Amino acid sequence: MIVRKYDDIIMAIILFYEKPGCMNNARQKSMLELSGHTVEAINLLEYPWTNKELDKYLGEKPVAECFNPAAPAVKSGKLDTLAFTKEEAIAIMIHEPLLIRRPLIKIGNHHLQGFDTTALRKIISLNSDKGTEDAGITININDINSCPHNNTFSCIKQED
C-alpha cells in the first residue's frame, strides 16, 4: 500500500525480503524506516518462492546481475552466472535462495531486486524524518549495497 501524506511525500508499506543478520539489509531497512515507511521484513531464505513470483523481482536485467555476488558459490567461481537462462537461474535460486541478490522489495505493484536508490526514489521518498538527526541516527547512503565484510566472510555464517 502507498499513502500520500500532506506534503505530497509518498509513504509506503514495504515488503523487504532479506537475509536475517545481513548488515547491509539492516542498514537498508533503517534507511527506509527513517524515511517514514513501514518495513515488513521477510526471511528471503525461508520464503516459499514460486517461479512466477521470483520472476517479477528479477525483471528484465541480465541474468548474471540477478545472482548474489557475495554467495559463496558465486564468489568462488564455482557457479558461472553467465551460463544460465532466466528460467534456469530462477530454478536454482528457488532451490538455493542464498544465490538471490538481495534485498527483494515490494512496494504496491512494484517489484525490485537490490537496493537501487534511484529506482526507489521514483516510487517513494528516501528523506529522513525530521528529528532523526537529533537522535544521533545516521545512515551512510554512499555505499548501501557492497558487503562491508572482508573477502574471507561467507554469507552462510550468521553475523553477530
Q: Report which of residues 131 and 58 the model is more confident about.
A: 58
Q: Is 155 a catalytic residue?
A: no
Instruction: Please tell me the predicted confidence (pLDDT) of residue 85.
Output: 97
- Are 41 and 16 in contact by the 8 Å Cβ rule? The answer is yes
pLDDT digits (tens, 9 = 90+) for 74-113: 999 999 999 999 999 999 999 999 999 999 999 999 999 9
pLDDT band per the 50, 70, 90 thresholds, residue 11: confident
pLDDT digits (tens, 9 = 90+) for 31-81: 999 999 999 999 999 999 999 999 999 999 999 999 999 999 999 999 999
Q: How many CA atoms lie within 13 A of 34 on its CB side?
A: 21
- Catalytic-role residue among 22, 66, 147, 155: 22
Instruction: Please tell me the predicted confidence (pLDDT) of residue 126.
Output: 87
Instruction: Please tell me the predicted confidence (pLDDT) of residue 146.
Output: 55
Instruction: Answer whether residue 136 shows pLDDT above 80.
Output: no
DSSP per residue, 51-114: HHHHHHHHTTS-GGGGB-TTSHHHHTTSS-GGG--HHHHHHHHHH-GGGB-S-EEEETTEEEES
